[in-house]
Copies of this chain bind each other. A is one copy, B any other.
Amino acid sequence: MTKPLRLGIAGLGTVGAGVVKIVRQKANLLASRAGRPVVITAVSARNRDKDRGVNLTDYAWEDDPVALAKRDDVDVFVELMGGSDGPAKAATEAAIAAGKDVVTANKAMLAHHGQALALAAEDAGCVIGFEAAVAGGIPVIKALSEGLSGNNITRVMGVMNGTCNYILTRMQSAGLPYDVVFEEANQLGYLEADPTLDVGGIDAGHKLSLLAAIAFGSQVNFDAVELEGIERITIEDINHAADMGYRIKLLGVCQMTGRGLEQRMSPCLVPDNSPLGQLEGGTNMCVLEGDSVEQIVLRGPGAGEGPTASAVMGDVMDIARGFRMPVFGQPAAGLSKAKAAKAATPAPYYLRMALVDKPGSLAKVAAALGEAGVSIDRMRQYQHDDSTAPVLIVTHKTTRMALDAALLAMAKLDVLAGDPVALRIESV
């Protein structure tokens, strides 16, 4: 095991450059820990001439990442290009076909093609490491698939999109409306080119679907994630929640229920004194629950050059040390096709709506809830100047299914001005 492990890196953005720096600057440390040198032999990116602040002259250059992935002098294909399809997928497939191990930070690719890639990799005897794809620098994949492998995992939760958490905590601390903070985040460069990936919950949903596959031994099924973004959260929602002792977080939850596998990524209310409630800014948090370990909470930076490169290197070092296991912790061919349980677990809900200001509106809303079997814990109508009355309702525990029936009935009543906002109150 003293033969060097040779990396080919495709994608030299922030994370790629960070990986190059670590391999160059910590060569002795890595060799001592891995029992063999870890070196880079070739790199690839779109623009060869860009100054990335790292010296690339020692490495072969490939314009085409597929060519990089197939090189004889590459043992591990490090995919840091991103994108669910296109060059990232083509090069990853080429690497596996050539018998190379893969390390990737690409949650979108794995969320959409994880099962097919895992089958191909396992057939070819290759591993795919994707620690960097979930929760930045937090070694959550390792904790879940290795550290807690003696557990029946009962629930996994996470705040895994730093941009959304930044927006929500900044709204609260500065008392600013969503649009203003969204624009701030945009100018700070926090948002993806397509901001819906962040604020629509898609990026975090990708991550959740990967954790769910490991936790429950089921095939990745991103399409089954119930997705809801933070775009409709108002500063009033945040203030109402705070008054009741809650914070609003874009929270991912997956758990196996009697009705199937539940995967939700949506804004939720969590107690303000819980670790999740206290999470501020761009930091990520994952909560892992198992029948033996009870609850483990992991907290750390969710993005950035150093933290994400640290996660990439964790996977590289595992490969250098000869650690090999199936992509999702169990052979992909044996992963279940878990039935998707939509909104099965009951919880209290926070409802905010605007009612047309005419006699009987509130009674009709209350009746619609009651008829759907949703009982009300608290209800409050706020003072208002215009023709619509803001109403806040907290329900007792109910299923999302019952709540959706109530919301559908309300929509037919001609008393709502706009769509209500319904946020789950999660027990964490």
Question: Which of chain B's residues have a CB closer than 8 A to the CB of A33?
Answer: 149, 329-330
Chain B proximity of A76: nearest CB distance (Å):
14
Would you list which residues of chain A between 329 and 368 have a CB under 8 Å from chain B? 329-331, 334
Among candidates B137, B142, B278, residue contacting A146 with C-beta atoms closer than 8 Å: B142
Please tell me if the beta carbons of B306 and A300 are within 8 angstroms of each other in the complex.
no
Among candidates B278, B307, B312, B318, residue contacting A294 with C-beta atoms closer than 8 Å: B307
Chain B proximity of A328: nearest CB distance (Å):
10
The residue in chain B whose Cβ has the minimal distance to the Cβ of A288 is B300
* A35-B331, A296-B137 known; A143-B146 Cβ under 8 A: no
Chain B proximity of A394: nearest CB distance (Å):
26
Interface 9-mer from A22-30, A180-188, A253-261, A372-380: A22-30
Measured in the bound complex, the distance between the Cα atoms of B151 and A334 in whole Å is 35
Please tell me if the beta carbons of B300 and A293 are within 8 angstroms of each other in the complex.
yes
Q: 0/1 per residue, A279-310, Cβ < 8 Å to B?
A: 00000000000111111111111001011011
Question: Which of chain B's residues have a CB closer than 8 A to the CB of A418?
Answer: none
Measured in the bound complex, the distance between the Cα atoms of B153 and A26 in whole Å is 12
Please tell me if the beta carbons of A150 and B317 are within 8 angstroms of each other in the complex.
yes
Please tell me if the beta carbons of B142 and A318 are within 8 angstroms of each other in the complex.
no
> A191: CB under 8 A from chain B?
no
Please tell me if the beta carbons of A298 and B301 are within 8 angstroms of each other in the complex.
no
Please tell me if the beta carbons of B290 and A296 are within 8 angstroms of each other in the complex.
no
The residue in chain B whose Cβ has the minimal distance to the Cβ of A335 is B32
Measured in the bound complex, the distance between the Cα atoms of B33 and A84 in whole Å is 27
Measured in the bound complex, the distance between the Cα atoms of B310 and A30 in whole Å is 29
> A322: CB under 8 A from chain B?
yes
Among candidates B146, B294, B295, residue contacting A317 with C-beta atoms closer than 8 Å: B146
List, sorted by A's number, 12 A–B pairs whose CB atoms are closer than 8 Å: A32-B217, A33-B329, A35-B326, A139-B142, A139-B147, A146-B314, A147-B311, A147-B314, A150-B317, A290-B310, A292-B306, A321-B324
Measured in the bound complex, the distance between the Cα atoms of B291 and A152 in whole Å is 34
Please tell me if the beta carbons of B30 and A150 are within 8 angstroms of each other in the complex.
yes
Q: Is the interface of A mostly helix, strand, loop or mixed?
A: mixed
Measured in the bound complex, the distance between the Cα atoms of B149 and A323 in whole Å is 14
Question: Which of chain B's residues have a CB closer than 8 A to the CB of A26?
Answer: 150, 152
> A251: CB under 8 A from chain B?
no
Please tell me if the beta carbons of B323 and A306 are within 8 angstroms of each other in the complex.
no
Chain B proximity of A125: nearest CB distance (Å):
12
Question: Which of chain B's residues have a CB closer than 8 A to the CB of A293?
Answer: 137, 300-301, 306-307, 310-311
Measured in the bound complex, the distance between the Cα atoms of B37 and A402 in whole Å is 44
The residue in chain B whose Cβ has the minimal distance to the Cβ of A22 is B150
The residue in chain B whose Cβ has the minimal distance to the Cβ of A142 is B147
Q: 0/1 per residue, A123-163, Cβ < 8 Å to B?
A: 00000000100000111001100111111100000000000
> A313: CB under 8 A from chain B?
yes
- Per CB-CB distance, the 3 closest pairs between chain A and chain B, nearest first, are A150-B313, A139-B147, A293-B310
